[in-house]
Amino acid sequence: MDDRVRLLDRKVLFFGGKGGVGKTTSASATALAASRAGRRVLLVSTDPAHNTADIFARPIGPDIVEVAPNLHALEIDAGRESARYVAEVKDRIKALFGHQILKEANRQIDLAASMPAAEEVALFDRIGSLIRGEDERFDLLVFDTAPTGHTLRLIRMPELMEAWIRALSRSRRAMLGVEQDDRNDPIMLSLAERLERLREFRARLVSPRVTAFVLVLVAERLPIEETARALAQLDEAGVRVGALVVNRVLPPTSSDPFLVARQAQERVYLEEIDRRFTGVPILRVPQLPRDVHGLEALGTIAAALFPG
Ligand SMILES: Nc1ncnc2c1ncn2[C@@H]1O[C@H](COP(=O)(O)OP(=O)(O)O)[C@@H](O)[C@H]1O
Ligand SMILES: [Mg+2]
């Protein structure tokens, strides 16, 4: 119980796990529970295949909308973020270079923007600005993420980008030479500023008071193995796992032989989950008779996650 409350005391919660296990459902229900407890919550979907709109049964898009009292939602559009990011970078360098260099620089930027990783970088940039708390309307951010691999890459990105910016700074300093003071160099200043923002992002990501990762699974073989791998990778990245959500646990009342067999298998896996993932609070959510759709059904899941 204490663990559950503590989960809602964080400022940033990520929900991850295999496709279809109930990430969006759990993230949305948690966001709803927190908003009903009086926190000002922003639910952010970073999954390119957004489905928060389906759950709330109303359109949600790349602009923040209110979906319930104290609860806002946003589905990040990586394509749009990428375009915005490119425009911003071009704007920033416009002040620094002459026409001829600028033309070449813009060509390079357009080239870079067409690379497969560009949208991921832009998505990361948007997540970073949210996590650094740039929107003061919210005191809890709940991220509904894409299946595990994609999200773990995003989590490691501040570290990778820091190394990259350090290398850029080194080559810029070498270019300036010993005679030129690098303290007023606009490029050095801009790199230093980026580095500072990345550091702040990473500090918040690895602070257990600020951020927790919630891994969602169902009581089956593959999700259990994926959870074990994700736990190891998050640990390595220094990100705290605040809870596991075991979703779709069957109600224990059936006499139907098919369900009895399912339940026997489930019991084995539930025990395995308890045994293997010690040290992490485990929250169980029952299988509902129907898909989770609309605020009332979400409220049922929220009550299962956070009773009382
Ligand atoms: N506890 C539950 N009971 C009944 N249906 C559920 C439950 N959890 C999730 N679902 C349904 O399962 C489907 C997948 O859930 P979703 O949260 O979208 O998964 P993910 O985001 O991990 O892909 C949805 O149709 C959702 O309504
Ligand atoms: Mg989803």
Structure tokens at 186: 């606009």
Mind giving me the DSSP string for 221-233? HHHHHHHHHHHHH
**Does 1 score more than 60 pLDDT?**
no
Average the pLDDT over 171-198 and give the result.
86
16 Cβ below 6 A of ligand 1: no
CB of residue 304 inside a 6 A radius of ligand 1: no
What's the pLDDT tens digit per position in 199-247?
A: 999 899 999 999 999 999 999 999 999 999 999 999 998 999 999 999 9
Contact residues for 285 (Cβ-Cβ < 8 A; gap 6+): 22, 26, 245, 246, 247, 248, 249, 301, 304, 305
63 tagged catalytic: no
**Using CB atoms within 10 A of its CB, is residue 163 exposed (0-12), middle (13-18) or buried (19+)?**
exposed
Q: Give the start-to-end residue ranges of the domains of the chain.
A: 2-79+120-305
3-state DSSP assignment of residue 304? helix
- CA-nearest of 249, 215, 209 to 233 is 215
Q: Please classify residue 166 by burial: count the beta carbons closer than 10 Å to its beta carbon, then call 0-12 exposed, 13-18 middle and 19+ buried.
A: exposed
pLDDT of residue 61: 94
Atom in ligand 1 nearest the alpha carbon of residue 55: 27
21 close to ligand 1 (CB < 6 Angstrom): yes
Q: Which ligand is nearest to the CA of 216?
A: 1
Note the pTM of the prediction, 2 decimals: 0.91
* Pocket perturbation via mutation, ligand 1, pick of 287, 291, 298 by most ligand atoms within 8 A of CB: 291
Assess whether the C-beta atom of 145 lies below 6 angstroms from ligand 1.
no
State the closest ligand 1 atom to the C-alpha of 144, by its place in the atom list counted from 1.
Answer: 21
Could you read off the pLDDT of 235-293 as tens digits, one per residue?
A: 998 999 999 999 999 987 778 899 999 999 999 999 999 999 999 999 999 999 999 99
Ligand 1 neighbour 251 (Cβ under 6 A): no
* Mean pLDDT for the stretch of residues 143-157: 83
Domain made up of 2-79+120-305: CATH architecture: 3-Layer(aba) Sandwich (3.40)
Residue 207: φ, ψ to 5°: -80, 120
pLDDT at 194: 86
The closest-lying atom of ligand 1 relative to the alpha carbon of residue 247 is 1
Helix (H) or strand (E) holding 75: strand 71-75
Torsion of CA 157, 152, 297, 35, to 10 degrees: -40
Helix (H, G, I), strand (E, B) or coil at 68: strand
Mean pLDDT within 29-50: 94
Strand bridging mode 65-68 / 71-75: antiparallel
